[in-house]
Amino acid sequence: MELNEKINLNNIIFDLYRKDSTNLVDSKEFNLSKNDKDELFSLALTDNLKSLFEGLANIFEKKLTSENFDLSLMLTLFLQRYNYFYRTEIQWVEYCKTINKINFKDPGNFFLEYIASFFEKQIDAYNDNYCDILTKYSVQLWNKHFYSKLVSLTSNIKHANNFQKKLGETEELVRFLQDTKNIYSSLEGVGLEHEKKEFLAHSNEIKIVYQSMNHLINEILKKIIKN
């Protein structure tokens, strides 16, 4: 059996989408129209992640001018989450082509050898990109303490000596970026507003990426243990 057959990310991601879309539709927090609900559910009927992502992008564009800010925000999160999943599945298929033969005698070793190695490289790539963003937007000039904290968190990710620790460090960065009150107060009255908005958008994206990555890894682990 090939690795992509053993761990079919396309199927795993669509299972996640069915749960996510059902939770969104059932939520009393958002006033979705019947057409919105039908569109979200119809996307679950496809088996093509590109079609899913493009369908979500289409829904998002139609809701961009919506007066429902919370719904627009949720759809933005949805779109970023499934953009990450879409790109990851493409990378996974290419990665699987480099694996000639898999050994599934031991679930733990299987995870470390095939799954952890893939996501470790992905974490490093996203982390390096975010470090570049910290420099690009001169965050150090805005707030040295805030910048130092982000440098420390990204450094911990970079220098973690095993996958479990590296994954744990991404969760620490996510927790820091979830504290929006601290972030906004740290950046209040400094820098150019349009630059801060761009920086915050990038920060929100890496937060969603790492959250989604953790979720995806947990689903893969469940599948490995189940099999």
At 65 the pLDDT is 61
At 64 the pLDDT is 65
At 70 the pLDDT is 73
- Tokens for 189? 């009255």
Alpha-helix residue ranges (DSSP H) falling in the chain = 3-6, 9-26, 34-43, 49-63, 69-96, 107-110, 117-136, 139-142, 144-159, 163-178, 180-186, 193-226
At 66 the pLDDT is 55
The residue with tokens 């979705």 is 32
At 68 the pLDDT is 65
List, for the chain, all residue ranges whose pLDDT scores fall below the cut of 50: none
Delimit the domains of the chain by residue range: 1-102, 104-227
At 165 the pLDDT is 98
- The neighbour count for residue 99, using CB atoms within 10 Å, is 15
As a three-state string, the secondary structure of 106-143 is: CHHHHHHHHHHHHHHHHHHHHHHHHHHHHHHCCHHHHC
Q: Torsions phi, psi of 44, nearest 5?
A: -75, -15
At 43 the pLDDT is 92
At 67 the pLDDT is 64
